[in-house]
Structure 1
Amino acid sequence: MAFGDDKNSGVAGGVTAVTSTVGNGVGGLLGTVGGVTGAAARGIGGTVTGVTGNAGKPLGDALTSLGNGVEDGTNSIKKGVESAGQGKKAW
């Protein structure tokens, strides 16, 4: 490689480092929020089903599914944000 051909040197390297750090930070935060929200919804869904039995099972199952959807959705966004922060194609 010839001198000066490094794409990650100088200003470009600095910008990449900053955007990568921000992307990873935001991605980590999204993962945490999604995980906590998903777990809480699944827990509430399980509690509703456990307390009400068959009568509340549809609502409990819906809350559990909602929790899974929130967690899956935030994980997808997290991956996109982290990829964009690394200069990769996000979607």
Structure 2
Amino acid sequence: MNDRNKNNGVRQGVTGVTSTVGNLTGGVLDTVGSTVGTLGRGLGGTINSTTGTKAAGDGLAWVTNGVEGGLRTVGQGAVDAGKAPGK
């Protein structure tokens, strides 16, 4: 086996591992983000309903929506980082 074939095999192995880790990380971050966003919207709606004011509940929902979006972006970055160049 020549050096080029060895390097290609190593690169494919590393890409497989980084792809798996990237996909796992991205999936976990997306799940956590979705959970935080859903929880914040639910609690925000409950606060709005029980207090009769929208400021606190809407503020909580706004913050948790931001967390959800941020985690989704970071998660997608992790997935993209694990992809082989050009794919």
TM-score (norm 1): 0.82
Aligned to 1:46: 45
Instruction: Report the AA paired with residue 26 of structure 2.
Output: G
Quick check: 1:64 aligned with 2:61?
Answer: yes
Identity of aligned residues (%): 48
Using the alignment, how far apart are the partners of 2:84 and 2:15 within structure 1? Answer: 7
RMSD: 2.0
SS at match of 2:15: helix
Aligned length: 82
The Cα of 1:67 is off from its aligned counterpart by: 1.6
* Match 1:85 to one of 68, 82, 87: 82
SS at match of 1:64: helix
The Cα of 1:16 is off from its aligned counterpart by: 0.2
The Cα of 1:87 is off from its aligned counterpart by: 4.2
Using the alignment, how far apart are the partners of 2:78 and 2:41 within structure 1? Answer: 25
The answer for unaligned runs of 5 or more in structure 2 is none
The Cα of 1:73 is off from its aligned counterpart by: 0.5
TM-score (norm 2): 0.85
Using the alignment, how far apart are the partners of 2:8 and 2:41 within structure 1? Answer: 46
Runs of 4+ in structure 1 deviating by more than 6 angstroms, as ranges, are none
The answer for unaligned runs of 5 or more in structure 1 is none
SS at match of 2:19: helix
Instruction: Report the AA paired with residue 73 of structure 1.
Output: G
Greater share of helix = 2
